[in-house]
Amino acid sequence: MSRNGLPPRRFEHSWTGPAGTWAYDRWGEAGRPVVLLHGPTFDRTMWWPVAAELADHATVVAVDLPGHGHSPPRSSYQPSDLVADLANLIHGLNPQRAPIIVGHSISALLACLFAATIKVRATVAVAQSLDIRPITGRLLSCGDLSGPLGQASPDTVPAAYQSLVTPHADDTMLAAYLAWTTNHHPTEAQRVIDGAVRQARTPHLSILGDPPDPGYPLWLRRLAPDARCVVYPQTGLFPHLHQVTRFADDLRALL
């Protein structure tokens, strides 16, 4: 709710660059931008409850990644192209402060790659370890595309939000977004992410729905000394929908 007791107003927009069009929603006109990236097979609606909580404190932008929601598909989904488009989209908003970039699932990797090239206030990875060697190893060995998304069933979230996280099954699209990882040896793909996190030199917050491997928080801090790892127990792939207020509070703390 906004300060006047009414739901915050959501405005639909689109931005078109050389490679195609991005649809996005925007809440608020002032404050630091918080850019929300959904995971592959979902769309920007998964962020609506969180955006409503943040709208009085930030300019909130939730995009549809190309090929999802109202953003049309394109011929290539190379991370460098997506990062360039995102940078231009955000620049068009005329921000006065560096944005916070939030990535869900595999899009957390895109958030980190963005932060390596564009100045940001912080990066947030939701339900995604930045140690991608297990994922890339499984993809290379057996072509399992479901593994990176974990338990994506909408009935694992509160009933009021289930319609926001119904995955749109499209193995071709998912494979296109994961192609850059499968085109590298797992160690090589990991090196790309490690380099991006180190180069960003910015606070990083990992919000997980299940406990990570015991050594993960220390491993993460070796990459980014300011990194924090927070677990919302038993929330799986959607911690931001199981504990909306807590999630919004964690983001506000980064503003």
In this structure, the chain runs to a length of: 255
Q: How confident is the model at residue 145, as a pLDDT?
A: 60
153 neighbors 166 (Cβ within 8 angstroms): no
71 neighbors 22 (Cβ within 8 angstroms): yes
Tokens 């959501």 locate to 10
Of 167, 196, 170, 169, the residue nearest 79 (C-alpha): 196
Tens digit of each residue's pLDDT, the chain (255 residues): 545 555 678 999 999 999 999 999 999 888 999 999 999 989 999 999 999 999 999 999 999 999 999 999 998 899 999 999 999 999 999 899 999 999 999 999 999 999 999 999 999 999 999 999 888 877 776 666 655 555 567 888 999 999 999 888 677 887 888 888 777 888 999 999 999 999 999 999 999 999 999 999 999 999 999 999 999 999 999 999 999 999 999 999 999
> Quick count: other Cβ atoms within 10 Å of Cβ 163?
10
pTM: 0.94
Torsion sign (Cα): 224, 230, 234, 238: negative
230 neighbors 205 (Cβ within 8 angstroms): yes
Angle between helix axes 186-200 and 133-142 (nearest 10 degrees) is 150
Main-chain dihedrals φ then ψ at residue 206, nearest 5 degrees: -105, 120
CATH class of 10-252: alpha beta
Give dist(CA 37, CA 63) in Å, integer: 6
Give dist(CA 128, CA 77) in Å, integer: 20
Torsion sign (Cα): 231, 235, 236, 242: negative
Residue 77 CB-density burial (10 A; 0-12 exposed, 13-18 middle, 19+ buried): buried
